[in-house]
Amino acid sequence: MKESNDNSLKVSNYWKKALYSSVVLGAFFVGGQYVSTVHASADTTQKANQPVPSKVIFDDVANNNNLQHPIVKGYVGQQSSLVNAKIRLQDLGYDVSNIPDTYTPTGSDAKIYSVTPIGVKNEPSTLSGQYKLIFEIKDQNGNYIESKYDSTNNSDNYDSTAIVNELKQEKDKFTLNGNSTDNGKIDTPSLQTGDNVITVSVTAPTHTLSINYVNQNNVTVFKTTRQVTNYGHTNFYDDQKNFGEDNAGIQINSDQPYVANDQSTATVNVTTNQAFQIPTDPTQVGSYNYAFPDPDDVTTVSDANGSQNPNGDAYYTTVSFVGADGKNIVSLIVGSNQSQTVRTENLDPDDSDYDSLIDFDNVTDLPANIDLTKGPYTFHSTDTLSGLQAAQSSAAAQSQAAAEQQAASSAQASQSTSSSVPVVQQSSAQPTSASATPKPVPSAQSSQSSAPQQTVEPAKSSAQPAPTPAPVVQSHSSAAPVASTAKSTPAPAPKPTPAPAPKPVVKPTPQPAKPVAKAKPTKTQLKAITKSFKQAKHAVKSDTAKLKAMKKKMKKHATKKQKAAYKKLQTKLAAEKKAFNSVKTQEGKLSKYFKSVATIGRDNKQIKSLTAQMKKLKKKHSKASKKKYSKDKKALKKANNSLKAATKFVKNYK
């Protein structure tokens, strides 16, 4: 009985274990299916939740076109800030009262906000003329300042003198320049009925804006300085690219409003990572200086024809350079439409395109920048006028002598070449057979023979056949000897002398052609092409607006006359667009040329300065000196690459 009970117990335990194992395995299996289902569901959800891009664009109602900037990019369901977009639109002269500070897209289609120029929105009701003119006054950086208004019933001969005189009264705000007016008047396009918005570019005074980049620990880790007017705002997010490798650990915080330009100092919040080393010495904080602009125009006084401001620049002054002998070497009129303070780095004749003997390497007291409102200036050179003139005369004489010597060498080489060619032609025409050479008479007194002696004529050119020898002289042995009174032993016939082998034709050494010197572009050309560019752009813009208005008018009903006018305007606009694209390309290349020329001058000086500084730092062994040396080395490499690219462009400019 006991054994039976034990067996029953064993069987019972066995079935319990089997049942438990089945349950556990089933659980694993079911669990595996659940987990797999969850992952599949997660993958599907992840794909479904990928952010869908969307954007906000702004439409200029007055000019019937979408603005290329600003455009706010975001994602469906995610809130985007429109604060900086509104700031930028206001700087461009648009009313933004209808635009919210934030926007959350609900679909991928672009959200379009219509904007109206401030001048149009604030247009006074007193304008009674058929053609209303709204003059938008903007500074040299394109920032909106104010609007002026006028109207007329004469679209062909509008006189802007009253507006110009009104603008001249606001010298505390801005100054008119050569781009503002043409012969004292504002360049107005073809007027159309209703509102005509015209941009007038002026020059406003500039000042230095310093921006301090402060991290989460309230420590200034970077600084920038730039020249700005009192109008508009600065987009400091563009400074991120100028932080450099040494400051790669700095990140500008998002959603900060642009900095207003009407201040001298501003703070921007940044975040620095743990790897970033904060300088203990404030003087070692990284910085970037956008520097002052170069002058727009540099003209010698002798070329100014008595005018104090020949180019009509907003700011200008006279800069003279005196030699060690007290005599004036050159006087320049320096002008700018960008800033009252300009750099002097590119004042030399090569960079500024004027003729002078001045060597700026020997000018001892020229500062890096000059204020054009505080001139005239006089600076000094260690050269003398007589010494520079003597050096120029000597160089001219050497150049002339070298040219004459080269010309003589070329003429001599040409003459020797031309004389050698006919000789080769004659030798090639000479007969090589022995029959052409007569045998001598077998008699010692043959010279006294009654038979006439044959004279061998020189071979003629291949163009004329050689004459047949006279029958008296025979080269054959059967020929009868000439009669003689004295007996003599006939002399052995000499072996015929072989004709000389023809000389090889000597080809003249080709003289390398002198490269034709390319005419350097001038600032006058740049100014002219810039003006043409603006006029072409304005023509395209004006006729595009006209075409749109005409199309809208013809939408319901169009007469034959309207259709013809529409087609004519279409053809005109196509030609204007073609001309605009051509001028745009030329203006771009010419602008890049002068920028490259300026870059060459700047980089050369920077390379010279960095090389000298690195030489001094190499002798020092402190940690700060080593870090500064490493930084200068990178800057030197960057300057060399920049110089190489600029030089290549200027050299290959066509």
CA distance linking residue 475 with residue 472, whole number of Å: 10
Count, in order, helices (H) and strands (E) of the chain: 9, 23
Amino acid of residue 608: K
Which residue pairs from 62-70 have beta carbons closer than 8 angstroms and sit at least 24 positions apart in sequence? 62/116, 62/117, 62/120, 62/195, 62/197, 63/197, 63/541, 63/545, 64/545, 64/548, 66/112, 67/92, 67/115
CA distance linking residue 143 with residue 89, whole number of Å: 10
Q: What is the pLDDT of residues 1-37, one digit of tens each?
A: 444 444 444 444 544 444 444 443 343 333 333 333 3
Of 542 and 22, more confident: 542
Is residue 93 scored above 50 in pLDDT? yes
Furthest CA-CA distance within the chain: 182
For residue 59, how far is the Cα from the chain centroid?
Answer: 31
Q: For residue 57, what are the β-bridge partners?
A: 112
The CATH number of the domain covering residues in 207-289: 3.10.20
Cis peptide before 70 (omega within 30 of 0): yes
Is there a contact between 239 and 223 (Cβ–Cβ < 8 Å)? no
Q: What is the pLDDT of residues 547-573, one digit of tens each?
A: 877 776 676 567 777 788 888 888 888
CA distance linking residue 278 with residue 246, whole number of Å: 11
Q: Is CATH 3.10.20 the right assignment for the domain spanning 123-201?
A: yes
Q: Which of 191, 187, 131 is nearest to 164 (CA)?
A: 187
Is there a contact between 332 and 368 (Cβ–Cβ < 8 Å)? no
pLDDT of amino acid 184: 82
Is residue 244 scored above 70 in pLDDT? yes
Is residue 521 scored above 90 in pLDDT? no
pLDDT of amino acid 212: 94
| Residue 415, token pair as written in the block | 């003459």
Mean pLDDT value across residues 443-463: 40
- Ordered DSSP codes for 260-317: ESSSSEEEEEEEE-TT----SSGGGSEEEE--PPPPSEEEEGGGTTT-SSTT--SEEE
Q: Write down the H helix ranges in 477-559.
A: 523-553
pLDDT of amino acid 97: 93
Amino acid of residue 320: S
Mean pLDDT value across residues 609-616: 84
Q: Which of 408, 352, 416 is nearest to 594 (CA)?
A: 352
Is there a contact between 93 and 144 (Cβ–Cβ < 8 Å)? yes
Is there a contact between 89 and 70 (Cβ–Cβ < 8 Å)? yes
Dihedral sign for Cα 29, 32, 34, 40, please.
Answer: negative
Cis peptide before 376 (omega within 30 of 0): yes
Is there a contact between 317 and 265 (Cβ–Cβ < 8 Å)? no
CB-based contacts of 530: which residues, under 8 Å, 6+ apart? 587, 591
pLDDT of amino acid 453: 42
Q: What is the mean pLDDT of the chain?
A: 77
pLDDT of amino acid 30: 38
Q: What is the pLDDT of residues 29-75, one digit of tens each?
A: 333 333 333 333 344 444 557 889 999 999 987 777 778 888 999 99
Is there a contact between 304 and 249 (Cβ–Cβ < 8 Å)? no
CA distances from 74 to 45, 84, 109 (A): 21, 14, 11
CA distance linking residue 523 with residue 294, whole number of Å: 13
Q: How is residue 382 annotated by DSSP? A: S
Q: How is residue 494 annotated by DSSP? A: P
pLDDT band (50, 70, 90) for residue 406: low
CA distances from 85 to 258, 280, 462, 595 (A): 10, 38, 89, 30
Host H or E run for residue 117: strand 111-117
- Ordered DSSP codes for 434-463: GGGSPPPPSSTTGGG-SSPPPPPPPP--TT
For residue 511, how far is the Cα from the chain centroid?
Answer: 36
pLDDT band (50, 70, 90) for residue 585: confident
CA distance linking residue 293 with residue 346, whole number of Å: 10
Q: Which of 357-361, 492-496, 638-642 has the lowest mean pLDDT?
A: 492-496
Superfamily of domain 53-119: Putative peptidoglycan bound protein (lpxtg motif) (3.10.20.320)
